[in-house]
């Protein structure tokens, strides 16, 4: 480019459009505010499954749900101005770890959503949901059992 003012002008024009959109309310961050909202949003994508229990992230970024008749779990994540839903089973989970006093880090087998960090209200909730997620991970990667003497 011979004229640097063209690039600078383009950058300023794009920045002004983004700022104007934000000021006029054309973009708002998605947030999960209630358990009913999380259940309803999950039901839009997975209508054949019935959520039972739900827990919300303290910052409204995510929700975990138990599902009727299965050990699989549901996940709703606020991403930008939209919501992402995932069905968590033995094929979609890679790992789960406790994070601090009440957080969880969930690693998924998902290129678009590889890692989720959820902050729960209490350490008791952290233990409960960690155990539920870990059970699914261990079903996929069972713990090795020692071989008995004489076994083929």
Domain count, the chain: 2
Of 87, 75, 96, nearest to 138 (Cα)? 96
% of residues, the chain, pLDDT over 70: 89
In a domain, 149, yes or no: no
In a domain, 62, yes or no: yes
In a domain, 150, yes or no: no
In a domain, 114, yes or no: yes
pTM: 0.76
pLDDT digits (tens, 9 = 90+) for 25-62: 766 789 999 999 999 999 999 999 999 999 999 999 99
Domain, as residue range, for 12: 1-28
């Amino acid at each position: 480019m011979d004229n640097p003012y063209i690039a600078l002008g383009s950058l300023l024009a794009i920045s002004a459009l983004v700022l104007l959109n934000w000021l006029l309310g054309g973009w708002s961050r998605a947030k999960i505010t209630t358990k009913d909202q999380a259940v309803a949003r999950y039901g839009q994508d997975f209508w054949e499954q019935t959520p039972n229990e739900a827990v919300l992230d303290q910052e409204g970024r995510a929700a975990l749900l138990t599902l009727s008749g299965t050990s699989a779990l549901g996940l709703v994540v606020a991403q930008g101005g939209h919501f992402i839903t995932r069905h968590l089973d033995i094929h979609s989970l890679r790992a789960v770890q406790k994070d601090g006093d009440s957080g969880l880090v969930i690693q998924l087998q998902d290129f678009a959503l590889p890692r989720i960090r959820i902050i729960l209200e209490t350490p008791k909730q952290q233990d409960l949901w960690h155990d539920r997620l870990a059970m699914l991970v261990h079903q996929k990667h069972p713990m090795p059992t020692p071989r008995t003497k004489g076994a083929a």
